[in-house]
Amino acid sequence: MPASFKKILNSRLFKFIVGEKVDGGPTEFFVHEEAVAQLSKPLRTLMQGGMAESQTGCTIWADVSKKTFESFIQFAYTGDYSIMKGGKRSRDKKKKKVVTDDSSSRTSHSQRSRWAKTVVDLDLVAETPAPELEPGLVEKKDPETAIKKDKKKSLKLEKVFSFSPFGEESLRPSTDPDLPKPETIKRRDKYPELQPRVHSEDFNSLTFQLLAPRNNYDKTCKPAEHFDPDQCYTEIFLSHASLYILGDLQLVDSLKALALFKLHKTLCVFQLDDGNAEDIIALAMHAYSEEGRGGGLDEGIGGLRSLVCQYMATNALVMSFNDGFMDLLGDGGQLVQDFFKYEVQRMC
C-alpha cells in the first residue's frame, strides 16, 4: 500500500548522488525518504535499515544517469513518469486553444434581453393604439360590449402590474359573473427564466469547467500514438529500458511493468526502415550490455530482452538490410542465441 502524501511530506530528506560514471560528473538530489522507501524492500532497507547510508541519509548511484533518476523520482512521487523527447525537427507548431468561460456574461445578457423584452411587451399591452377610421365614418359602440371590454382591459392591466418578484402573483377577484375566475399562477411557471435553480435535479446537473488539468503531467506520460519520421527514437527507447533495468535492480516490479508497457506501445507505433534501424540496434545493445544484465529471457514475455528479441525477429527481413545489425549478430553472445530462438519459433 503506498504511503500517504502527509507521511511522504513529513519524512526526512535523503540525498542521492548520481551519474558520476555515466554523466561525466555527479549530481545531487534531495528527496523525501518515504517516497522512495515505499517502492520496495531493498530501498526501505537502504534508507531505514540501519546501514551506513540510512544513518548518514546519503547514498551514491554512480551508474544511474541524471535523466533516469529524475524519471525514477517522478515515478516515486506520482506513480508515473514523463516520456523523454528525442531530437527532432519541429515542422508544425501546434496552436493552443484558449478556453474562456463566458457563461456568466451570456446568462446576464440573456436575462437583460428578457427583462427588456418583458418591459416592451408590457408597454404594448398597456398602450395599444386604437385603429384609425376612414373619414366620414363614425364608430358605433355597444354600451354593454364597451363595458365588458373595459373590464377585460382593466383585468389585464391588473394582472400585469400586480406582479411581485418575491412571491406568487394573484389576480384580484372580479365581480363580473360572466368572466372566468382568475387562477393563481406561480411565478416559476410563468417566468421560468427568472427563477433561480434551487431544485435538486437542477443542482445535480450543474457543471463546472476546470481551469487546469488535474494531473499537470498526464499528457507527457502517455506514449505517442503516431509515428514521427523526423524524430530520433534512440533516447526514448533507452529511457524506458534504463528505468526497467533500475526497477529490476531495486526490485520495483511496478516500475518494470510500466516501463515495458510504454516501450511496447512505442515500438508498435515505430515504423522501421533501414534509415532508422539504428534506434533498434541501440536498444538491443543497451538491453544486452553489462548495465542491462537484468531482465533475461527466463522472465518470459515480460522481460526487456524478450521484448527486444521478439521485435527484431518480427522485423528480421528489414533488419537484415542494415549493416550495423549484421555486425551485431556477428559479435555472437546471448543476444544471438535469444534472437535465433524467437526467429525459429516465429517461422515454425
pLDDT of residue 108: 45
Q: Cell triple for residue 137? A: 365614418
pLDDT of residue 211: 87
In sign, the C-alpha dihedral spanning 326, 330, 333, 337 is positive
Give the integer Cα–Cα distance in Å for 240 and 248: 12
Other CB atoms within 10 Å distance of the CB of residue 61:
21
pLDDT of residue 343: 87
Place of cell 457563461: 103
Q: Cell triple for residue 68? A: 533516469
Triad 252, 255, 258: Cα angle to 5°: 150
The structure's pTM equals 0.66
pLDDT of residue 116: 47
* Cα distances (Å, whole numbers) of residue 268 to 8, 27, 227, 271, 297: 37, 34, 9, 8, 20
Helix axes 304-314, 253-269, angle to 10 degrees: 10
Please give the chain's pLDDT, 348 residues, in tens: 788 999 999 999 999 999 999 999 999 999 999 999 999 999 999 999 999 999 999 999 999 999 999 999 999 999 999 998 888 633 444 444 434 444 444 444 454 454 444 444 444 444 445 555 555 555 555 556 556 566 665 655 555 444 444 444 444 555 556 666 666 766 666 666 565 555 667 778 888 888 888 888 888 999 999 999 999 999 999 999 999 999 999 999 999 999 999 999 999 999 999 889 999 999 999 999 876 554 455 554 459 999 999 999 999 999 999 999 999 999 988 899 889 988 888 887
* Cα distances (Å, whole numbers) of residue 203 to 127, 150, 196, 207, 346: 41, 45, 10, 9, 60
- CB 294, CB 250: distance < 8 Å: no
Give the integer Cα–Cα distance in Å for 197 and 204: 10
* Cα distances (Å, whole numbers) of residue 265 to 31, 130, 224, 328: 30, 79, 8, 25
Give the integer Cα–Cα distance in Å for 186 and 204: 23
pLDDT of residue 332: 87
Instruction: Spell 12-50 as b/e; 16+ CB within 10 A means b.
Output: eebebbbbeebbeeeeebebbbbbbbbbbeebbebbbee
pLDDT of residue 106: 45
* Cα distances (Å, whole numbers) of residue 60 to 53, 77, 334: 9, 20, 30
pLDDT of residue 115: 44
Dihedral, CA atoms, 78, 20, 63, 238, nearest 10 degrees? 70
